[in-house]
Structure 1
Amino acid sequence: MARYAAKLMDDGSITVDAPTSAFPPSGFFTLFHPKKEGCKPYSFHKYVEQAPYTKDHFAIKKEEENANWTCLIAATGKDGEVLDDRKFSLPHLGLPSLGKKGLSVYPDRDGNDRKSLGVGFPTDKEILDTVFVVPGLEIPLSATPEEPNLRCRMYRNKYPDVEETVVVLVKRIDVMGVYVSLVEYDDTEGMILLSELSRRRIRSVKKLINVGRQEVALVLRVDKDKGYIDLSKRRVSPEDVEKIEEKFNKSKSAHSIMRNLATTQKRDVEDLYDSFGWELGEECGHLLDAFKRLLSDPTILDKYCMSEDVKKALLRNVEMRLTPQPVKVRSDFEVTCFAYEGIDAIKAALLEGVKCGTEMNPISVRLIAPPLYVMTCNTLDQDVGIKLLEGALEKVKDEIIKRNGEMAIKMKPTAVGAEEEAALAKALEDAQRANMEVEGDDDEEEDED
């Protein structure tokens, strides 16, 4: 896609060094900053997602030196004030996320480092004057496509909120406290003071906490300017631990999908989050929940106008990772009946259990060796399969008791893996071989008579 130089005018509009014919009648535009070592080539997706332009936002600036420049007009309300969703201002474009370090190396349009030129921090207007405009929404390729930047926090906020519970990784133990990295926030460093490690008297810190171990901690203070984060381990309740671990596991799964997408599509992972990840997660409650919705409703991505290659790669990745895999649930049990009905009673009881199966979760019963049987069910939901087999076993038990027989469960309904399946197959094969040998003996005895 072609990129055009932009300039912020005093009236709040943006002029673009391109004719209006370069822009479709309506759609989106993306702003980029030129790449400079140590400074990210920022793209500002949030604005274009919220407020696509239309032909009403274009005009020709006749008074400019270049009469063919396109002007994206800042729309105003009845009182003449610029509408919030149309402000081409620094806060709305998200530039403050650069931070002081980013601004200090901010280059001019030619790529010259302002700091090396002895120039101070740029003004809002000077910053915006260094960006380029691309007609259409574009998630930029990484500046290093072969090794895109995969480092990024898991949530929109750069730092956690006070009183938020987070997962941390213990890095080192010091005389003042324990230094940790906040796993969900791009390994930002934090500290747990010794007084916040435990409610009890601490005799040995190393017996209480180990380097390399993940812990759950509560955020006490956040100094965004200095980057200090103080945490507490002793103020975390067992209920908090369970909830945050569940949230962390979901975030880690979603983050893994985003990192994989960034690798295969050669985009920086933060650009993917900026363009659709943060907003999609907020819309569905959590990004992983949004990915699960994609399995049945991929149209929820339509509003983000991402390129087809990125969209197809995301859907393929989600389908591969999140499509439920069939699980086999198994239970072993013995059924006997020495009453007159005998084998007919056992067959009738087993049939009652098989009837509990459904089209999606069928139940089957096989004989291992009298009186031992195995009941199995293939299901996409392990819990559903277990409950289904429990109900089926109850039916078998009720029916066989009604017919003066007995039933004993040898193995409760359990999800089984490849090893258990192999053992079952071998047991069935041995039983079949034994039956064949018995039948052969009978034939030989008849011949001798």
Structure 2
Amino acid sequence: MVSRRTVDYVDLSGKFRLNSFDYHKQYSHFYAHRLREMTTLLLSCAEDHWGKNYSIKKLCDLREEQTDTCIIIGTIYKHQAHKPSILREISEENQLAPQPPREHYADLEDKLILEDELQRVRLYGKVDGRYMASGIVCAVLGSIEEDGRFDVEEMLYYESGPQKPLPTYGYSRKLVLISGINYGQSVDNIDALNLFQHWLCGNIFGKPSSDIVRVIIAGNSVRASAEECESTSLQSRSIGNNEAVEAIQSLDSWFCSWSKSITVDIMPGEHDPANFMLPQQPFHQFMFPKAAKNVSFRGVPNPYACSIDNTQIVGCSGQNVHDLIRCTMIENPLEALRSTLVWGHIAPTAPDTLACYPYVDCDPLILHECPHIYFTGNCDTFETGIHNGSKTQRTRLICVPNFSKTQSIAVVEMETLDCKEIKFTADTD
């Protein structure tokens, strides 16, 4: 058995755990609270960035005859003609055949609108709607024009708040990130999982792995796509359910073996047998009875936040980035992840196009504190980069590859924030 380094761990995911399940509320409360909370945060940012040279106004205070430059704060609404609309789908007036769902909603004709508690105004000028999405709260510097549009000179975002200094201990501590094991559908992963397990236990490559302190499994362990969910016949559904049960039983054995050697946190993913809305709640311990006997095996929510030796880590199983790419013209998952960090919100498109619990008095997806490591799971390829914020923040961004497609994982050195990909294929050197 490999001797692991002892680290200080704090679970910061309490805000993502639901204590009640009331789905009767409207989402207006959620948006209103997001705007109130982020307005408070942006007021100080606006004063630091623009000084006191400009007044901060509500939209109702704007007058077309007053063209002085001012600051307004509100929530972006992106009017998209191609976005799904249940009202349009059930409209009897059109009498159209159902159209196939679009994979991307963004279009050059999309319109950006800023709204607060009472009113809304159309934005134009120095703002690029191609790379923005509904739900972003921002401060805007500009002036109202005669036609009622707001001419934007500059936009300001919260940028995920302050960041604690990255602690240094003088020795190596590594974090392993893996996602998309896809045990229910992929038949090519067994050898790769075996190699990963041997590597985790220090049995291959001749290198000790005592500096690996934790493994985070970022979703889609059972299934990595919705193919099985699309089956319509009762027989095919029964087969799919049986395969899922068998996959969970097999995964339980894998996780039990891993957690005997190291602490393992497992997050649910979009296609796992878990609740659909964000934040997804932790798997029940009865789903993995063998692994659950080990105190080092933990079910955690998605999104997930924790602190390891005072290094702040935040991540999601991929839904936030995938939905953002669908709603914008951002093509690169790493840039989509970077954008959510700049905007100070894990999933700004929730609940507009991404399902989310209807919170009334909070928005747990706001990034009040800038993490040192920020990841998203189930990406087609491994990507990583450093984001340097406007206030000395420095964050390691990681797109964790889909293991069933790439047979690879991401490994982060927490002492330096260096990150690399390790592949577990037959031709691994």
Same fold (TM over 0.5): no
TM-score tier by shorter-chain length is under 0.3
Bigger radius of gyration: 1
The TM-score normalised by the length of structure 2 is 0.23
Higher relative contact order (CA 8 A, sep 6+): 2
The TM-score normalised by the length of structure 1 is 0.22
